[in-house]
Amino acid sequence: MLSGIRVCSHSAATRFGCLFHGSRRRSPGSPSRGISGSPRLISRWNSRDSVDLPTEDNPRILITGGLGQLDIKKPPPEVYKSGPFVYADVLDYKNLKELVVNNRITWLVHYSALLSVVGEANVALSRKINITGLHNVLDLALESCLRLFVPSTIGAFGPTSPRDPAPDLCVQRPRTIYGVSKVHGELMGEYFHHKYGLDFRCLRYPGVISANTQPGGGTTDYAVQIFHDALSTGHHECYLRPDTRLPMMHIGDCHRATVEFMQAPQCQLSLRTYNIAAMSFTPEEVATEIQKHLPHLKVTYNPDPVRQTIADSWPVRFDDSNARRDWGWKSTYGLEELVSDMLSSIYEKRTNAGLPVS
């Protein structure tokens, strides 16, 4: 399966976050064929004139799944301008190994995965990408002495988990292949850390809200779609009940949490997998906040049985006290700030593209 790969070499404190283009995998119906890295990009990135050797403070970072939910298509110009980009197959260990060696990679950020709803529609493909792909990057990180980050998710919890709040360590037992694969990843990473010393790091993300990518197969994606609908048609039909409360986070906080966690010294980490939290809201609450800016927004509710069942098995809130204590995590966006930023960003994108605004 193909994945957009980003290769970055920067001070992580100043540049790492801006190079994330989403954490999602391509749609399952897209064609698949083996495409290796571009020699031009690889040779330019290996040039002695273009980059210093990697150091602890200046890591070289390989990001899989770099374009979000994607088909096999040419990335937009800004992607090429922001740094080297190649197509690669997360199921092709040899190709991944070549990318790591040829680009002197020191950190690997592995985002390639099929999300909850898409995964339930194609369990076999999800198993390949989410589990076999994970095994490839675990082996690669161990063999190449990489610092490895693999995100987990709210979906790693299940109906028997504590829901309000969900702690870092508890019964999980998810009921989606997406959640099962993430629990598998958490445990395999922890095992590799304790048995072999792999520097494995994992954050359980809540629903992540961004104006930069379109919704793509997640149960929390209504919280992105509602902003697009508010500014395009003025009407949003929500596939969850109005009182369905779930943990959410602005993409800016998500990026910053990942950077700060990756930079944290190992001696500060008491866990290998942490919850991170920012806010929790319901569809009704986010709609009400948007209506303060756009009073004409109309929201109707038509719960989808699959998505609603998944949402009802997930936590209402995350307990992220360990992340706050161990490496100083603290969110900056609340619901008001999130809504203002999303409306402003999507309004600007639509007007710049010549699209009508409701």
Instruction: List, by residue number, the catalytic residues.
Output: 178
Q: Are 26 and 113 in contact (CB under 8 A)?
A: no
Query: 53: which 2 tokens?
Result: 């050797």
- Write a three-state SS string for the chain: CEEEEEEEECCHHHHCHHHCCCCCCCCCCCCCCCCCCCHHHHHHHHCCCCCCCCECCECEEEEECCCCCCCCCCCCHHHHHCCCEEEEECCCHHHHHHHHHHCCCCEEEECCCCCHHHHHHCHHHHHHHHHHHHHHHHHHHHHHCCEEECCEEHHHCCCCCCCCCECCCCCCCCCCHHHHHHHHHHHHHHHHHHHHCCEEEEEEECEEECCCCCCCCCCCCHHHHHHHHHHHCCEEEECCCCCCCEEEEEHHHHHHHHHHHHHCCHHHCCCCEEECCCEEECHHHHHHHHHCCCCCCEEEECCCHHHHHHHHCCCCCECCHHHHHHHCCCCCCCHHHHHHHHHHHHHHHHHHCCCCCC
**What angle is formed at CA 316 by the lines to CA 310 and CA 318, rounded to 5 degrees?**
115
Write down the residue that tokens 């009508």 correspond to: 356
Write down the residue that tokens 């193909």 correspond to: 2
CA 239 – CA 290 distance, rounded (Å): 18
Query: 258: which 2 tokens?
Result: 């990942």
